[in-house]
């Protein structure tokens, strides 16, 4: 492979984003940083570069081990990236409703909506 590759192409190739256009949009929105600096989509990344990618309000810290430009299988993609993201804090679990217990009450629905808003779900 080559010594450097576009950041949007690399993020798509290692399966951080489903499409390359989604990776490009994230770069334009300022959600991708390469070595601490905001990255444009065409910025090259090299082995050893640290990327901070904001997805759903949560930062992922990725280090480039191997620059790849084309989408590959899951195993080679995992080998091309070193994920240094710290583990997320576990979210509080809502009281589980019994299956078939009917519709949630108004109070339960509001609790569910508050929980989803904290989780980053755009609803």
Q: What is the pTM of this model?
A: 0.71
DSSP conformational letter for 96: P
Checking phi first, is residue 23 left (phi over 0); if not, alpha (psi -120 to 50) or beta? alpha
Closest CA to 12 of 24, 4, 2, 3: 24
pLDDT in tens, the chain (123 residues): 558 899 999 999 999 999 999 999 999 999 999 999 999 999 999 999 999 999 988 899 999 999 999 999 999 999 999 999 988 877 666 667 778 888 888 998 898 888 888 655 444
Furthest C-alpha separation in the chain: 58
The CATH code belonging to domain 5-83 is 3.10.290.10
Domain boundaries, the chain: 5-83, 89-123
Distance (Å, whole) CA 18 – CA 15: 6
């Amino acid at each position: 492979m080559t010594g450097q590759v576009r950041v949007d192409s690399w993020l798509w190739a290692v399966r951080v984003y489903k499409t390359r256009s989604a990776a490009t949009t994230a770069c334009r929105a300022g959600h991708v940083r390469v070595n601490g600096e905001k990255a444009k989509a065409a910025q090259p990344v090299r082995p050893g570069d640290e990327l901070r990618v904001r997805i759903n309000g949560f930062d992922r810290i990725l280090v480039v081990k191997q620059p790849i430009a084309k989408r590959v299988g899951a195993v080679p993609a995992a080998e091309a990236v070193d994920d240094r993201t710290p583990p997320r804090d576990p979210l509080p679990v809502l009281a589980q409703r019994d299956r078939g217990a009917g519709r949630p009450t108004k109070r339960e629905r509001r609790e569910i909506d508050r929980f989803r808003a904290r989780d980053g779900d755009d609803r």
